[in-house]
Amino acid sequence: MAEFAIVLPLVLVVLLTSVELVAVARMQLEVTQAAREGARQAATNVDPATAVEAVRSALPPDLSARARVSVSRPHRVGAQAEVRVRLPYRFASALFGGLAVELSARAVMRVEL
């Protein structure tokens, strides 16, 4: 019984850490996919607002409001359109003491039109 009382908190800490890391990895994938969607729009559309809207629609509603999106699109065919997405994330577990990180992604595509 004493061993169980010692090991249980350690198992719970490892479990909570694993859940948090999976959540961060999932959000990073969502941010990366949203940046790609924005870059596709930036490559084919002159208006950068459409790229920003594509990024925001690719993210879940609770995340899209917090995301910071920047679009760089030259008006020359063949140049590179770049979309950057930054999303602040605060760990939910009190174990990390409210640690905050910034998830970011960058996608680049050649301008078509």
Q: What is the pLDDT of residues 2-45, one digit of tens each?
A: 888 889 988 988 898 888 889 899 999 999 999 999 999 999 99
Query: Are the CB atoms for 52 and 69 separated by under 8 Å?
Result: yes
12/6 Cα distance (integer angstroms): 11
- 3-state SS assignment for residue 18: helix
Indicate yes or no: pTM above 0.85.
Answer: no
Q: Which residue has the tokens 């960058």?
A: 106
Cα–Cα distance measured from residue 70 to residue 68, given in angstroms and rounded to the nearest whole number: 7
